Chains A and B, each alone.
Chain A
Amino acid sequence: MLEILIHGAVSSAIYAMLAVGFTLIFGVARILNLAHGSFYALGAYGAYFFTAHLKLPLFPAALLAMALVALFGIFVERVLVRPMRSSQLAVLMITLAVALVVEQALFLTFGSEYRNVPAFVDAKFSIGGVDVGGQRLLALGASVTLIALLWLFIQRTRLGSAILAVSQDPEAANYMGIPSDRIFTIVMGLSAALAAAAGVLAGPFLTVQPTMWLLPIVKAFAIVIVGGLGSIPGSILAALMLGYAETIVGYLISSSWTEIVSVLATLLMLVFRPAGIFGKRAAF
């Protein structure tokens, strides 16, 4: 029982970190960013490159990777997405193209083999008799902290209020003197940095290879559909539900059934409540 509680929490935390960024940029800029998984992959590869090739210590390497991915996110938003933002379909296509280009670039640069991102913590911890890798516990803690900081930033700062205002009504916010384009850029950078953080934190115990972007984007998609596109509390709740549902299925039924959980949850939610748990309206 305790095992399910701990391992479910770790899975949920990684999912939440991925989904919150994904839903944030949708909620604010109405951008369905299929390149979100690429930010996750680039975060992990960045940490690998800076530690293995440039021999940087892990912590600066991780921060540098996150910063560069944030800049890349900003570049994607300003140069590629912004001219097409009026058409959701065009945005979907361009972000998918970015994801595929990143995959091929990683493939050409680093090859198809998986790479090793060093762990911040290599010790094992026993909690109530359950053995958990230190890196997993760190990922859980870091994820909770980062999401809490993001929440505080949005709720308590001036810039956060501007983000909220733009997410509620971009036109009205514009009339109030809030530069919505700049807000979109900031949010894209934040969202990319969060995904990169997930990559840096999960890389040591998950896979790091060029196609690693795909599964996270599928999970993030499932979570935001269940939670309601654009709703951060919805994403967190859905990440918890999905993380725990997968862990419970893995423990009580079989690990070969875990991957169907997210797909099934998405399907049921789209059929019975297209707006998701906290969504105000159907996204599609």
Chain B
Amino acid sequence: MNKFSSLFCAVCFAAGLAAAPAMAQTKPIRIGVPTAMQVQVGRDTQDAIKMAIDDINAKGGVLGRKLEMVVADETENPETGISAIKKLTADEKVDVLIGGYTSGVTLAQLPHISAAKTIYLGVGAASPSITAKVKQDYDNYKYIFRVGPIHAGHQARQVTGFISGFVKGELGFSKIAIVGESAKWVQDLVPLLKKGATDAGADVRLTEFFDTQTSDFSPLLAKVKDSGAQYLVVILSHASSDIFAKQWHDARFPIPYGGIDVKSMDGDFCNRVGGKAVGEMAANFAVRAPLTAKTIPFWDEFVKRTKREPVYTAYGANDSVYIYAEAVRRANSTDPNAVIKELEKTSYVGIPGVIEFDEMHDVKAGGKGPNFLFVQWQDQCARQVVYPKPQRTAEYITPAWIKK
């Protein structure tokens, strides 16, 4: 090898070494999405993340790197949920995880997320136990954040506010009945709700649980009627929402109902039960109302792209991508420790409200933060915000068969 070619090789080698970090820098930032792909909550998570990724990439990406999404189905089963986390962190080597739906699954995933030292932005599960880990063992669980929904304790407080402010304050009903499905989160929530409602001056005539498999609500409705209650507060999450609405309507049950009904958060719930939910009030985060400057534009864009109305996970998932991207920009790195420090300082005007994290990395509720909106199914299955008053888009309607 002559002198010239040796020099040429040395130059090539040096250029190659210099190019390696540049190559790494242009490698995309990978967003892992563990979610229940078979339900709308999961489909909306993916679509909302995709929307944010497309938008950010169109503007040049983050630190010159494009964003890309990798999805893993966590179903509603903890074991599959753990596999999804392992696949995303060990095989796909994602930089951040955005997703979640069932609290039991997320709780099972936590040790694996912590072991993988990967930031997790939760957008689906509501159990307070998830973020409690951050406070108990910060060093191991600092990776966990919840962008949405507000946790079950906050939810109970906001339903209590609905009972005192709306049911008692506006409708003038002080006698209420509370019924909920036999599930852990409901059994935790109902005593809080009962105490809150009683403290607010409501007369809780009945609290009753029913099996999630219940297919005949006649006995339950008869008990509610016999209790003398004027308003029925429900806490439903799983399969029974549709049967409940149908049987309430078919029997022209003389007491209106409302509360937390997770299935009734779906944009097409009312149509799916043949319009029989008209009159029901359901707490929701995702509605087309001007909560922030971003709410209505996001809603309209989501509907345009997917041909369906979003549920709450869409709001949290879309915001999460921007929150993470901003934290990476501020940290000038995707190193989890540096990004966590920046995430903790987040104050982001998101779709449902201003997203800020408390010391447990949990989204702050109340004030300008995300809050429950109590939405009523009205004529033609249109959804209208009825409570709180500042966000009201229509007046409350009484179901046709109930005497005012």
How many whole Å from A7's CB to the nearest CB in chain B? Answer: 4
Interface residues of B in 263-291 (CB under 8 A from A): 266, 268, 271-274
Are the C-beta atoms of A254 and B273 separated by less than 8 Å?
no
Say whether A256 contacts B239, CB under 8 Å. no
Segment among B54-62, B107-115, B242-250, B328-336 that sits at the interface with chain A? B242-250
Give the shortest distance, in Å, between B271 (CB) and chain A (any CB): 7
* A109-138 at interface with B (beta carbon < 8 Å): 112-116, 118-119, 122, 124, 131-136
Contact across chains for B218 and A254 when beta carbons are under 8 A apart: no
**Which one of B220, B240, B243, B253 lies within 8 Å of A205 (CB-CB)?**
B243
Of the residues A118, A131, A250, contact of B252 by C-beta under 8 Å: A131
- CB-CB under 8 A from A124, the residues of chain B are 250-252, 401
CB <8 Å contact, B222 and A113:
no
Does the CB pair A206–B215 fall under 8 Å?
yes
The interface residues of chain A lying within 8 Å CB-to-CB of B223 are 251
Closest to B222 in A: A3
Question: B214: CB under 8 A from chain A?
Answer: yes
Count of chain A to chain B residue pairs whose CB atoms are closer than 8 Å in the complex: 95
Known: A3-B218, A7-B216. A113 touches B272 (CB 8 A): yes
Q: B242 is contacted by which of A112, A114, A215, A257 (Cβ under 8 Å)?
A: A114
Q: Is B2 an interface residue (CB 8 A)?
A: no
Asked whether any CB of chain A lies closer than 8 Å to the CB of B40, the reply is: yes
**Nearest CB in chain A: distance from B106 CB, A:** 20
A11: interface (CB < 8 Å): yes
User: Given A118-B274, A206-B243, A250-B220, does the pair A259, B250 have CB atoms closer than 8 Å?
Assistant: no
Q: With A7-B216, A215-B215, A258-B211 in contact, is A133–B251 under 8 Å at CB?
A: yes
Q: Given known contacts A113-B266, A133-B247, is B214 in contact with A255 (CB within 8 Å)?
A: yes
Given the known A-B contacts A116-B273, A251-B222, A256-B182, are A207 and B242 also in contact in the complex, defined by CB atoms under 8 Å? yes
**B38 an interface residue at 8 Å Cβ cutoff?**
yes
**Taking A116-B273, A133-B247 as contacts, is the C-beta distance between A255 and B242 under 8 angstroms?**
no
User: Across the interface, do B210 and A215 meet the contact criterion of CB distance under 8 Å?
Assistant: no
A247 at the interface (CB under 8 A from B): yes
Listed residue (A7, A112, A131) with the most chain B CB atoms within 10 angstroms of its CB: A131
Docked-complex contact B246 and A205, CB < 8 angstroms: yes
- Is B39 on the interface with A (CB-CB < 8 A)? yes
B67 to chain A, nearest CB (A): 28
| A207 contacts across to B, CB distance below 8 A | 215, 239-240, 242-243
- Which residue in chain B gives the minimum CB-CB distance to A118? B274
CA distance A258 to B216 in the complex (A): 9
How many angstroms from the CA of A250 to the CA of B209 in the assembled complex?
11
Residues of A within 8 A of B215 (CB): 206-207, 215
Across the interface, A133 reaches (CB within 8 A) one of B210, B242, B250, B271, namely B250
A204 in contact (CB, < 8 A): yes
CB atoms of B210 and A256 under 8 A apart: yes
Q: Taking the complex as formed, is B21 at the interface, i.e. its CB lies under 8 A from any CB of chain A?
A: no
Query: Is the Cβ of A255 less than 8 Å from the Cβ of B208?
Result: yes
From 126 to 173 in chain A, residues with beta carbon under 8 angstroms from any chain B beta carbon are: 131-136
In the assembled complex, the CB of A57 is this many whole angstroms from the nearest CB of chain B, namely: 16
A186-231 contacts to B (CB < 8 Å): 204-207, 209, 215
A250 touches B242 (CB 8 A): no
CB distance from B321 to the nearest CB of A (A): 25
Task: Give the complex CA separation of A224 and B137 in angstroms.
Answer: 54
Question: What chain A residues lie within 8 Å of B219 (beta carbons)?
Answer: 3, 7, 247, 250-251, 255, 258
B272 partner, pick from A116, A122, A134, beta carbons under 8 A: A116
**Interface check B380, CB cutoff 8 A:** no
Query: Is the CB–CB distance between B250 and A205 below 8 Å?
Result: yes
Instruction: Give, as a whole number of angstroms, the nearest-CB distance from B290 to chain A.
Output: 28
Given A247-B216, A247-B219, does the pair A112, B38 have CB atoms closer than 8 Å? yes
Q: Which residues from 266 to 281 on chain A have a C-beta closer than 8 Å to any C-beta of chain B?
A: none
Q: How far is the CA of A254 from the CA of B222 in the complex (A)?
A: 12
With A112-B39, A116-B272: A256-B211 Cβ-Cβ less than 8 Å: yes
Minimum CB–CB distance from B341 to chain A (whole Å) comes to 40
B39 neighbours in A (Cβ, 8 Å): 112
The residue in chain B whose Cβ has the minimal distance to the Cβ of A116 is B274
Is residue B213 within 8 Å, beta carbon to beta carbon, of the partner chain?
A: yes
Q: B40, B214, B240, B250 — which one has the most chain A CB atoms within 10 A of its CB?
A: B250
- Chain B: minimal CB distance from A41 (Å): 14
Complex Cα spacing A207 to B247, Å = 11
Task: Write the nearest CB–CB distance from A105 to chain B, whole angstroms.
Answer: 14
Q: A3-B222, A207-B242, A258-B211 are in contact. Are A131 and B253 (CB under 8 A)?
A: yes
Q: Please determine whether B218 and A250 come into contact, CB atoms closer than 8 angstroms.
A: yes
A103 at interface by CB-CB < 8 Å: no
Whether the pair B274, A254 counts as a contact (CB closer than 8 A) is no
Tell yes or no: A246 within 8 A of B by CB.
Answer: yes
Q: Which residues of the partner chain A approach B247 to less than 8 Å between Cβ atoms? A: 133, 205
Question: Is B396 among interface residues, defined by CB-CB distance under 8 A?
Answer: no
Q: Which of A7, A134, A204 contacts B274 (CB 8 A)?
A: A204
Closest to A4 in B: B219
A-B complex: 5 closest residue pairs judged by Cβ atoms: A133-B250, A250-B219, A255-B210, A116-B274, A7-B218
Extra inter-chain contacts (13) besides given A107-B38, A258-B219, CB under 8 Å: A7-B216, A7-B218, A10-B216, A116-B272, A131-B252, A205-B243, A206-B215, A207-B243, A215-B213, A246-B216, A247-B218, A254-B208, A254-B210
Interface residues of B, Cβ cutoff 8 Å to A: 38-40, 182, 208-211, 213-220, 222-223, 239-240, 242-243, 246-247, 250-253, 266, 268, 271-274, 401
